[in-house]
Chain A
């Protein structure tokens, strides 16, 4: 990993850790195993994956299925209906797996861009959120990342989600409590480029 990329991923993970998210830098060969280990730690019974070539190349879906986890892929997984995806029916311990378009080192933010293969609700309907971020997608500042995301010809993406923490609320006595409506845990795998 190039030294500047190393500094950026360190910045991202340190900022996220302050907000009680977790993460690690892994190489491409170890990414699927790291995803499976995290799923096992969370006790995940079903994973909802973005349809993204990055996950296919790393073999994340195959590895999770091999470990006995039910694997749904967006948009087909959407066919299950909201009650099931929200965990009101079927397994409650679910995990959304996303591939952020960019990661921001300063103050720690993931930029998730929606699209036909990447539903905007994948991470918040699930109990846990695993983000798989190729290291080459790291940027230094939020301004840089947002200008890049929106500075394209034609239509802006219909939805972009900035995610910087697990779902949390301080509405009871101003003490931060995790898992309010979205993912109770956020784990980021920064994958070194092959």
Chain B
């Protein structure tokens, strides 16, 4: 194993360029990402061959477009049915409101230990930090999330959060937690985690889960998983709090059945998830397990502002993570370098939209793409992510980007005029001849410096073959 710790960033530290440069220099990370990408690619190829994937994808897109089109109505129905089933629904305008609702609830019930199953929405609102600040203990129970919590890291992938770590790195983290000597054996590490986390399931007062989607027809929330921890989190503790992004609603069980099948195909290359937990209200009279209280927190957090805009399709996302694996950028630097809970193409679209265009992350992430379109190809609900990336780019208003835009406008105007075009080309030719040697410019001054810091520029056409 490489002795290097993987690159980890809290949200606001080094600039993106520095983070990506460091990630690119991390050989262990590169190997882990390569293995993960290859394994996903192989599974995806197999699943597409065995299933009518293209047809299923068209249907999934139709479903999601329709659901988002009727979102206010479907949300109202979901809220009404969850309430009728005995659940408590709250709408949270932003991260603070959502966190405050949950910490207030925990305080009111005298809770001390919170067990969590994997949830991107709670990453988004930084719920763990809020719970810890209020003096409670919170434990992630998805194996990957637990490893990251112990290591003090953030997820690098929506579905496979610890995909940037290898088993030796995982072993070190788990040994540090328990103080036990553990073998470098995957099965033994998993069995160890099982035992440690059973202690948490046995005594947690509150279980917090995400929601893959809510079914408006019956007020049922769906939690999809493979480990069984989400079931334990939603079945054993006295209180279950489910946190759902407001766009995650489907109309009825026919739609739900379709999304439930295409989601694991896209996410893990299997035609079914191991477990799907369908929860309608708290435990019914006479039942001996299940929570006594069910709270559903519906998070807006910037989502409603996208409805009816040319960026609305970002809300169709079912959080499968396929666009991450397919993206040449993500496969090169991993999710950590993005510095946002949502990485990859969908992360580069969502982060600025949910957090606002100000700030380094929002202004840089949309440009972290070659616009090759492989994300659109991989997306099970057919979101045109490359188009959305371009639209989000157009919204960036930092000084640097405004200056870039002005420069391109000037260039465009110049080249619309034949005389100016010919003059500029002649000048460029002379300039390049002067700057170049043996047909190649290796270092240009001024605005050309950025280009030559990455690659050489031929000074005549066709270029002389490089030596």
B235 within 8 A of A: yes
Complex contacts, B226 vs chain A, CB 8 Å: 165, 167-170, 180
Distance A83 CA – B253 CA, assembled complex (angstroms)? 36
Give the contact-size bracket for chain B: 35 or more
Residues from chain A with a CB closer than 8 A to the CB of B143 are: 169, 171-172, 180
Task: For B284, list chain A residues within 8 Å (CB).
Answer: 115-116, 155, 157-158
Tell which of A36-44, A54-62, A63-71, A120-128 binds the partner.
A120-128
Residues of chain A within 8 A of B197, CB atoms compared: 181
- Cβ contact within 8 Å between B288 and A156: no
Instruction: Decide if B288 touches A107 in the complex (CB within 8 Å).
Output: no
Chain B 193-208, CB within 8 Å of chain A: the 1/0 string? Answer: 1110111011000000
Name 11 extra pairs, CB < 8 A, besides A88-B195, A168-B227: A19-B270, A74-B288, A83-B202, A125-B232, A141-B257, A150-B253, A164-B272, A165-B270, A165-B273, A171-B161, A172-B165
CB-based contact B289/A119 at 8 Å:
yes
Looking at B40, B163, B270, the one whose CB has the most chain A CB atoms below 10 A away is B270
Please give the distance in Å from A88's CB to the nearest CB on chain B: 5
**Pairwise interchain contact A169-B236, C-beta atoms closer than 8 A:** no
Q: Residue A182 at the B interface, CB < 8 A?
A: yes
Q: Does any Cβ of B come within 8 Å of A146's Cβ?
A: yes
> A133 at interface (Cβ–Cβ under 8 A)?
no
Residues of A participating in the B interface, judged by any CB pair closer than 8 Å: 15, 19, 74-75, 78, 82-83, 86-88, 107-109, 114-116, 119-121, 124-125, 141-143, 145-147, 149-151, 155-175, 177, 179-183
Q: Quote the shortest CB–CB distance from B268 to chain A (angstroms).
A: 7
A181:B194 contact, CB within 8 angstroms: yes
Closest chain A residue, CB of each to CB of B144 = A171
Asked whether B260 is an interface residue with its Cβ less than 8 Å from the other chain, the reply is yes
Taking the nearest CB of chain A, how far is it from the CB of B233, in angstroms?
Answer: 9
Do residues A120 and B257 form an inter-chain contact, with CB atoms below 8 A?
no
Chain A residues with Cβ below 8 Å from B167 are: 172-173
Classify the interface of chain A: helix, strand, loop or mixed: loop
- In the bound complex, what is the Cα–Cα distance between A23 and B40 (angstroms)? 28
| Closest partner residue, chain A, to B260 (CB atom) | A142
- Complex CA distance for A155 and B276, rounded to whole angstroms: 20
Which partner residue on chain A sits nearest B166 by CB separation? A173
Verify A158–B286 contact, CB threshold 8 A. no
**Chain B residues within 8 Å of A115, by CB:** 284, 286-287
Q: Which of B144-196 contact A (CB under 8 A)?
A: 144, 147, 160-163, 165-167, 170, 186-187, 189-191, 193-195
Q: Does B258 contact A (CB under 8 A)?
A: yes
Query: Most chain-B CB neighbours within 10 Å: which of A74, A172, A181?
Result: A181
- Supposing A82-B236, A158-B279, A167-B228 touch, asked if A177 and B257 sit within 8 A by C-beta, the answer is no
